[in-house]
Amino acid sequence: MKIAVIGSNMVDLISYINKMPVAGETVEAPNFSIGCGGKGANQAVAAAKYGADVLMMTKVGDDIFADNTIKNFDKLGIDTKYVEKVKGLSSGVAPIFVDESGQNRIIIVKGANKYLLPSDIDRASEELKKSSLIILQLEINLETVYYAINFGKKYNIPVLLNPAPATKDLDIEEACKCEFFVPNETELAILTDMPVNTDDEIKNAAKYLVNKGLKNVIVTMGSRGAMWVTKENCQYLKSFKVNAVDTSGAGDAFIGCFASCYVKNNDVMLSMKEASAFAALSVTKKGTQISYPTKDQVKEFLSKYNKQSKVTAERRTVVTFLYQENKGAKQNGQKEIRKGK
């Protein structure tokens, strides 16, 4: 089951900060790191680390970062046949600012990513036709995104669209041709102009998109979990509680792992659960792709979580039983007292 990721790659420039500077202010960042990133690349790496056969289609620059990006893909077994250099251009870069709570703010410079064109999809058509799923994001030109969506529709290949970075220029009619539409709550708010402060508000905003014609809207909500909304129902998945130190790339981690699971099991909720565990583990370490866990680590995490949940449930049952038993004894005692009177 091959997954084709058509999208971006970036060089992540991550500053770990205590505060964002105001206009005219200079502040010191305690830590800094540099690594491979970009939404498309992150999703490809997450899918590959979870065992998927992944083809990456992207453009890198003619600079010192390009070879490192390609080597990183190769190391993970990702097919780089269509990872191509663009002469005279820089690779895409993403300055990322991570605060003390682990939340991030991201700026992107597309660089060579702007030169991924519909003609590139045509050249790779025979390889792409072998895919079980196509993953797209919005860090490449919308024209290329729409062309890829229609390619998937033409050859009956389901498409997952991650509408990030969110833009109101996105044609929802084109997005409706996708099988999955996966925004986070901030992107959902931008795309719908609706509030997303509560679970009910997120559900209503997602329903708004479903009523526009989208089939499966999966909203990633960070520490609040994830929500799957269709025309027929709405299902909510709680998050796994972890100590988050850096949320950079967590949404991409979820998407890549979800895709890897879904092409194998065709089960949305089960895939969401494993993807949520994968993303939860990723935020416990600094960095983007370097923070992504292995499949074995996720399985071990889920096993421990399930055992802990079972023990907690058993304890609750015992406590409820003892409470009911004590309550019954107390009521019987009161009856005896009344009889004595």
From 74, 252, 267, 296, active-site residue? 252
Do residues 264 and 127 share a domain? yes
Question: How many structural domains does the chain have?
Answer: 2
Q: Between β-strands 10-16 and 93-98, what pairing exists: parallel, antiparallel or unpaired?
A: parallel
pLDDT given at position 339: 57
pLDDT given at position 44: 98
204-261 tens-digit pLDDT: 999 999 999 999 999 999 999 999 999 999 999 999 999 999 998 999 999 999 999 9
pLDDT given at position 333: 61
Do residues 223 and 308 share a domain? no
On whether the pTM is more than 0.95, the answer is: no
Give yes or no: 252 in active site: yes
Asked if residue 24 has pLDDT above 60, the reply is yes
Host domain of residue 25: 2-293
Do residues 212 and 334 share a domain? no
Q: What mean pLDDT is predicted for residues 43-49?
A: 98
Query: How does residue 312 score in pLDDT terms, banded at 50, 70 and 90?
Result: low
Do residues 202 and 330 share a domain? no
Do residues 216 and 193 share a domain? yes
Q: Which residues of 160-195 are buried (b: 16+ CB within 10 A; e: fewer)?
A: bbbbbebeeebeeebbbbbbbbbbbbebbbbbbebe
| Structural domain contains residue 285 | yes
* Burial class of residue 293 in the structure, from the number of CB atoms within 10 Å of its CB (0-12 exposed, 13-18 middle, 19+ buried): buried
111-141 tens-digit pLDDT: 999 999 999 999 999 999 999 999 999 999 9
| Sheet arrangement for strand 31-37 | 31-37, 10-16, 93-98, 104-106
Q: What mean pLDDT is predicted for residues 47-70?
A: 96
Do residues 338 and 278 share a domain? no
Query: How does residue 322 score in pLDDT terms, banded at 50, 70 and 90?
Result: low
Among 25-39, 78-92, 118-132, 309-323, which is the least confidently predicted range? 309-323
Do residues 269 and 330 share a domain? no
